[in-house]
Chain A
Amino acid sequence: MVQAVERAPDVSPSIGGTRRAPVASDPAARRRRRRKSLVAYLYIAPAMAMFLLFALGPFLHAFWLSFFDWDGITVGTWTGLGNYQKVLTDPLTRQAFGHSVVLILFFSSIPVVIGLMIAAVFTTVKVRGSTVFRVAIFLPQVVSSVVVGVIWNWIYADNGPLNEFLRAVGLGALAKPWLGDFTWALPALGMIGAWMLIGLCMVLFVAGVQQIPSALYDAVRVDGGGRLREMTTVTLPGLRYEFGVVLTLTIVGALRTFDLVFVMTRGGPGTETVVPGLMLYNRAFVDGRVGQSCAIAVILAVLVFGVTFAIDRLVSREG
């Protein structure tokens, strides 16, 4: 992603380096270079064509459609910024983006803190069987979101394991059908996202810690610093870049939430778990308001791009 580009600024490797620097006035060299360029374009063409036809093209089309009032069947009419005005003043959209903020809090805070703690444990103690722990903690990340939905629908159910557990330990008063509860449905979804993302955060932090020179840790120890000093003076500053990646992934993941909501609550109870992804789906394929759907899509994409670039700037500025 963007961070990766930052690390590898040399995008144009030169074959042969300065030794064979082509002289611009040599026509033979120029011809050779042009032929080489042509070959390179041929290699890139299939991937680029697919990307333009089936990803970037449709996205630009979304931008175009967002200026029309269109039901998907008849001829659309130009409305300028009308769709954006409707969408931005619609209380449901505001609610949906508000829910995104709540999900961001869950998706990024809990996995980041726990992932960091697990990475700290892995690096301070030589754990036997570390692979088993890593595979286990990472597993939720590879399971299809629909399967995750089925699993947690059961766990949160009225007579599911969570409520049974609460009743067993004498907290039966707290038991409730979590996903049907107006207050608790959204946090319940947030906890599922956190559960899925812990493994990814752990893996990224472990990889990051391994790149910190061990001499820095030795220096702290020579100074008589303890584990806490190690954490605050070496580990955390050394992981600045990984923090950037992890926050980008978790925040973007929260903004893009769709599958879980669609499978588990469909936005309910009431509109308590409506998110932008669900709204843009419903506006297009349920209400037949394609223009408004595309306006939400554009706003969502702008937010995702904005978050990605902002965090990238933040972590690379001091570096």
Chain B
Amino acid sequence: MTSRAERVFAYCFLTFFAIIALFPIVGVVLLALNPRDAQISGFGLPEQVHPHTFVEAWQVAHLSAYLRSSAIVSACVVIGSTILSILAGYAFGTMTFRGQSWLFYLLLSGMILPFEAVVVPLYYDLRQFGLTNTYASMVLPQIAINVCFGTFWMRAYFRSVPRSMLEAAEVDGASSLRTLLRVALPPGKPAVLTLTVLLFMWSWNEFLLPLVMVTDESKRTAPLGLAFFAGQHTTDRVGQAAAAVIVAAPVIIMFIVFQRSFIRGMASGAVKE
């Protein structure tokens, strides 16, 4: 049983930590609603809502180029990683083959491999093939790291598919690819959805890889462009805030829409940092 006092305490406690979590984010949104030349010190409502700041920040910070670049990279990473993860997860989850267990452990090792330890030699390896400063240099390494989690995630799903369904398709003479596309995959839409939203968040927020690989300004992704903009306009707090809100918006919107998938994915897979 819970007493009245306990309930009141629970709501106060949760509200307190919700405010701590939200205060900085809401604060920066409110800051961005001021005119750019306003001298803002603390946290507060703007005297007059001034949405034009977002337009100015968009132009001054070259956000359309950076967002376009981010969209290209994220789309390629999400699509590529999802397809490769489904294929590999299907094999690990439904088939028996030699070396299955150690191949799986090998791929799992990628989930604890810190990317910071990979990026320096990766730069010199890609430079040798003339691949630095390209979209490929940002896309391929992310797919390489993502398939580790993705295969692990999809394998768990495919193991839950009833054997009898797969065997029935096999008896009917369906090829393994047909079985995958027609029988095994369709009920797995929620699992795939969770995987894609997590992959989108990770690729949209990736910072180190574009920082190392890309020198061409037009290829900068949104977080990288924001970092350069903030570094050059240190006193333009309102402009920085507006640009930051724009860069964070796609992931935040996706999180709020798919929060159930998001939180379930992070809780049960939650292993990539």
| Interface residues, chain A, with chain B CB atoms under 8 Å away | 1-5, 8, 11-16, 33, 36-37, 39-41, 43-44, 46-48, 50-51, 53-59, 61-62, 65, 72, 114, 117-118, 121, 124-127, 131-147, 149-155, 157, 159-161, 164-165, 168, 195, 198-200, 203-204, 206-207, 245, 249, 252-253, 255-256, 258-259, 262-263, 276-277, 280-281, 284-285, 290, 293-294, 297-298, 300-301, 304-305, 308
Contact = CB atoms under 8 A, between A and B. Distances in A.
B118 A164 contact: no
Interface string B97-134: 11011011111111111111111111111000000000
B121 A59 contact: yes
Given A44-B103, A138-B263, A143-B252, A54 B117 contact: no
B201 A142 contact: yes
B256 A135 contact: yes
Nearest to A144: B205
Contacts of B42: 159-161, 164-165, 168
B27 A207 contact: no
A40 B117 contact: no
28 contacts: A2-B112, A11-B104, A15-B94, A47-B85, A47-B150, A48-B88, A48-B103, A50-B84, A51-B110, A51-B147, A53-B144, A56-B110, A58-B119, A65-B121, A125-B2, A127-B11, A131-B259, A142-B262, A144-B226, A145-B205, A159-B41, A165-B42, A195-B24, A198-B20, A249-B273, A259-B207, A300-B116, A301-B117
B167 to A, nearest CB: 7
Contact of B121 (A62, A140, A159): A62
A218 B6 CA distance: 19
A13 B90 CA distance: 12
B270 interface: yes
A183 B6 CA distance: 40
Main secondary structure on B side of the interface with A? helix
A299 to B, nearest CB: 9
Nearest to B28: A151
B7 interface: yes
A299 B270 CA distance: 24
B181 interface: no
Interface in B1-38: 2, 6-7, 10-11, 13-15, 17-18, 20-22, 24-25, 27-28, 31
Nearest to A297: B117
Contacts of A131: 259
A304 B114 contact: yes
Given A39-B91, A118-B14, 4 more contacts: A48-B107, A144-B204, A249-B273, A300-B117
Given A47-B85, A124-B10, A161-B42, A144 B247 contact: yes
Contacts of B25: 139-140, 143, 151
B100 A200 contact: no
B199 interface: no
Contacts of A204: 267, 270
B157 interface: no
Interface residues of B, number: 109
Contacts of A39: 91, 95, 176
A208 to B, nearest CB: 9
Interface stretch (B46-54, B186-194, B236-244): B236-244
B175 to A, nearest CB: 9
Nearest to B2: A125
Contact of A47 (B17, B84, B120, B273): B84
B144 A55 contact: yes
A282 to B, nearest CB: 11
B168 interface: no
A37 B42 CA distance: 64
A214 to B, nearest CB: 14
Contacts of B252: 139, 142-143
Contacts of A14: 96
B156 to A, nearest CB: 8
A44 B222 CA distance: 33
A143 B2 CA distance: 35
A48 B84 CA distance: 9
A195 B21 contact: yes
Nearest to B139: A54
B67 interface: no
